Amino acid sequence: MNFFEHQERARRRTGLLATYFIAAVAAIVVSVSVVIYIALLWVSGGDYSLLNWLYSPVMHWSTAITLLIVITGSLHKTWQIRDGGVALADMLNAREILPSCNSLADRRLRNVVEEMAIASGIPAPRTFVMPHEKSINALAAGFRPTEAVIVITQGALDSLNREELQGVIAHEFSHIFNADMRINMRLIAVLAGILAIGKVGEFLIHANTRMRLYNRRRDKNEVLGIFFLILLGIAMMVIGYIGLFFGRLIKAAISRQRELLADASSVQFTRNASGIANALIKIRNHAGSHLMSVHGEDMSHMCFGETVPFHLQSLLATHPPLDNRLRALGNEWLARARTRQRAGTPLQTPSDTLPDGMGFAGSTPVPPGGAAERVTAGTTGQPVSPTVGTVLDAHLGYARSIIGSIPEDLRNNLQHAEPARLVVLALAMGTSQSEPAALLPLLDLNTVESQQVLHLVAQIRTLGTRIRLPLIDMALPALQQLSNSQREQLLEKLEQLVLHDQRLTLFEFVLTRILKDHLGDNAGRAPAIRFRQYPQLANQIQLILSLMVHASGSSGGDADLLFRRASGTLLPPGRILLPLEKCRIEDLDQALADLRDLTPLLKAPLLDALADIARADSRIQVQQAELLRGIATLMDCPMPPLF
């Protein structure tokens, strides 16, 4: 199953989640009604028929209030996590690993995350650590693959070596690519509604303290009323446990098999089973994975390992047993875990950490020399859609070579908000036909900043064009720390820079649109599926294919033939290659906004067609690779580098 099939399956699972939610709410409504009916029977001395109860206003009002409490609980939690993964990290009191960090463990984690991000073709996720959690656990959160956040416990950071950390991070990247994050975020809101009844019960109990109950000024009726409220609160807390049971059941149905898939994907990404296997062994034998956070239950379906202890694990566990997970990686790993447990092998600290320059296990570096302007394709006819949302050895090696070729001072700039802002401004200035010095008045920079930007323009130009997209990916986590007003100002300055020479190159389009997508008002919001057939988007597909043909350098009959081959099943008969003057890059904005809302399974053939155009001459020009990557990113498809 590839990325697009996972996305489509996740959409169907959303319907399953809705079914579970309705069933759980129905059970809660019935339970509340039964409790109130029993209470009325007790008050009336048993003289209250069920038929009268079913048609009574009390029953109708109790049902309406119960539904209101459930819906309000879900909406409140939805509002709390509206900012995606960052909001979830804040709920967990996690600290962000800032670029200024001096800790070797923090730097190692940032390096691992950056390597995986560049290799898979997505911006580097912002990374957080739960400082008070000593167990080994982690999670990925967010509504979009390109807006993900990685959260890891301090125990994992302290206990895992680099190889094991790579295995855990690769596991979390699998959740990013397999559309697990989005449904997990929705599940948090759904479960908050289901558990809201129990929360109201707690409130009723705490609101009627013993002092109020035994206040002698109260008459008998008031005391009975308070007793009734306390009993109702206890009953609602019991009903809350019913909601908890259903919540656990839903999470187990949604999450359990996804964890085995993520374990397998971790091995596929790193080409090394020992990393994730040894991390699981450390959880099994020593450190555990339970969280102290009060939100441990809320996040249990999202984490690398179980977050809270409970009974009925075979029925309600959100994760398969650790022994089963180890056995799925290979029978020898379970045997090793048992052997180490009998031997009493202590939990090792990550003293075997590899240097930051080392990449993922099994990866082969791609030499930077000669790759600055074009990349040779392995095979021209092989579709690229199966590689979307995956990582191969060559991609990891390429990512390591990219990171290794960036000078240390430039890497430091990418890790701080203000210097990263200057880097992206320098990227825009470096591709303009105007002289960089002539563009400085547009930026309102002081003398020191102006000199820094000019230095960055010269430095980036010497590194070659292949470095441009990775610089954007690595700068985004720092840029996302800017305030909303600073983000708006940056986007405005970029627009002024790229339009100053009255032309918009493909890279300038990719630069400005990717940054707008991640820093603009709609950043982090999940797309909606609006289109389910190609004819609905015929004009947009015709434009995007035509633009890619012209970017390939083909002309005349060759260009027409290339367009016909690529558009075969995507466009209705009669659609022809648009002339270059009608392929305005500015028109891509609306086209890509529409294509982003195309159903996932239809995105794959479109990306394959675009890649076939780019590889038609067995070579991929950098401007083609940048345009294709930009299109894929704006369509929410994490596409690794093309070879």
Active-site amino acid positions: 172
Tokens of 63: 């049902």
Q: How many CB atoms lie within 10 A of CB 446?
A: 8
Q: Tell me the sheet residues that pair with 126.
A: 149
Tokens of 297: 């239950």
The answer for residues whose C-beta is within 8 angstroms of residue 347's C-beta and 6 or more apart is 159, 282, 285, 286, 287
Place of tokens 């191969």: 392
DSSP 311-377: S-HHHH-SS--HHHHHHHH-HHHHHHHHHHHHHTPPPPPSTTPPPTT--STT--PPP-TT-SSEEE-
Question: What are the φ and ψ backbone dihedral angles of 128, each rounded to 5 degrees?
Answer: -130, 155
- 609 φψ region: left (φ > 0), alpha (ψ -120 to 50), beta (else): alpha
The answer for residues whose C-beta is within 8 angstroms of residue 565's C-beta and 6 or more apart is 612
3-state secondary structure of 259: helix
Which of 137, 411, 179 has its CA nearest to residue 282? 137
Which of 100, 118, 103, 112 has its CA nearest to residue 138? 112
d(CA 329, CA 214): 62
User: Do 313 and 248 form a contact (C-beta atoms < 8 A)?
Assistant: no
Alpha-carbon distances of 524 from 132, 144, 178, 324, 519, rounded to whole Å = 28, 6, 17, 35, 9
User: Do 426 and 471 form a contact (C-beta atoms < 8 A)?
Assistant: no
The answer for residues whose C-beta is within 8 angstroms of residue 15's C-beta and 6 or more apart is none
